[in-house]
């Protein structure tokens, strides 16, 4: 699925606020949505937020076992979906044997945090440059020292931009995670029995 580019300065600088993946797979709406629900709760450290006939939204679990699982990266997948604000699945019938599955993940919070951190870095650089410039004026050495004031300004802006752009990696990992869920759904891998660790994290 190809989405129209997201408008706005935040999207141009830091990247998209949402990731989306869609695919037509074999199955019926009810069982497909149930399989996705079981997988998201069992394998992605998510819990149900809202449930509708053809759509479920999940949010990250915040219990001890889920935090440990994410922190130690048990399973080796990185748990990108559990680091989003919300994940949603919508399932609609295409014909008697196939359904269209759309997965959406909200990464706006990650983008906002990185933009804020980048802004702090840029402002700090400007403040440091202003301090150097002030000292230069007081010491009557503006022509010699003033150019040095540009260094922290440039450094702060560069670091801030890099921090903001790092969100693109978050969005990309989230996109890949959504596609991987659809891969598993397409190949019938979402219905495996839960492991002992899965059982513990669901208690």
Residues 148-203 have pLDDT tens digits of: 667 878 888 899 999 999 999 999 999 999 999 999 999 998 866 555 445 444 44
* Total structural domains within the chain: 2
Q: Residue 92 pLDDT more than 70? A: yes
Band of pLDDT at residue 34, cut at 50, 70 and 90: very high
Q: Are residues 87 and 131 in the same domain?
A: no
What is the rounded average pLDDT for all residues in the chain? Answer: 85
Q: Are residues 78 and 137 in the same domain?
A: no
- pLDDT value at residue 58: 98
Sign of CA dihedral 51, 38, 17, 111: positive
Q: Are residues 29 and 84 in the same domain?
A: yes
For residues 113-134, average pLDDT: 85
CATH number at residue 39: 3.30.530.20
Q: Are residues 175 and 147 in the same domain?
A: no
Q: Are residues 96 and 66 in the same domain?
A: yes
Q: Structure pTM? A: 0.80
Tell me if 2 is assigned to some domain. no
Band of pLDDT at residue 144, cut at 50, 70 and 90: low
Q: Are residues 65 and 103 in the same domain?
A: yes
For residues 108-132, average pLDDT: 88
Helices 108-138 and 167-186, packing angle to 10 deg: 170
Q: Are residues 63 and 143 in the same domain?
A: no
Q: Residue 141 pLDDT more than 80? A: no
5 and 11 in contact (C-beta within 8 Å)? yes
Q: Residue 45 pLDDT more than 70? A: yes
Q: Residue 95 pLDDT more than 90? A: yes
197 and 69 in contact (C-beta within 8 Å)? yes
Q: Are residues 46 and 76 in the same domain?
A: yes
Q: Are residues 78 and 150 in the same domain?
A: no
- pLDDT value at residue 196: 47
Burial code (b: 16+ CB inside 10 Å, e: under 16) for 73-109 equals eeeeeebbbbbbebbbbbbeeeeeeebebbbbbbbee
**137 is in which domain, residue-wise?**
112-164
Q: Are residues 103 and 27 in the same domain?
A: yes
Stretch among 116-120, 131-135, 139-143, 155-159 having the lowest mean pLDDT: 139-143
Q: In what order do the strands lie in the sheet with 46-51?
A: 18-26, 98-106, 86-93, 55-60, 46-51
Q: Are residues 96 and 160 in the same domain?
A: no
């Amino acid at each position: 699925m190809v989405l129209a580019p997201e408008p706005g300065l935040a999207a141009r600088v830091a990247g998209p606020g949402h990731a989306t993946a869609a695919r037509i797979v074999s199955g019926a709406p009810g069982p497909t949505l149930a399989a996705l629900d079981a997988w998201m709760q069992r394998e992605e450290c998510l819990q149900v937020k809202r449930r509708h006939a053809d759509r479920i939204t999940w949010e990250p679990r915040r219990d001890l076992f889920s935090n440990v699982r994410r922190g130690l990266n048990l399973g080796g997948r990185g748990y990108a979906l559990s680091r989003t604000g919300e994940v949603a699945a919508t399932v609609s019938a295409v014909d008697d044997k196939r359904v269209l599955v759309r997965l959406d993940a909200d990464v706006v919070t990650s983008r906002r945090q990185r933009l804020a951190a980048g802004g702090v870095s840029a402002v700090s650089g400007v403040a440091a440059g202003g301090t150097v410039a002030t000292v230069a004026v007081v010491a009557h050495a503006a022509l010699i020292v003033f150019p040095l004031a540009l260094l922290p300004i440039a450094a702060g802006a560069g670091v801030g931009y890099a921090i903001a752009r790092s969100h693109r990696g978050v969005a990309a990992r989230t996109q890949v995670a959504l596609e991987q869920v659809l891969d598993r759904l397409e190949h019938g891998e979402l219905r495996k029995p839960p492991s002992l660790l899965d059982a513990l994290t669901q208690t």
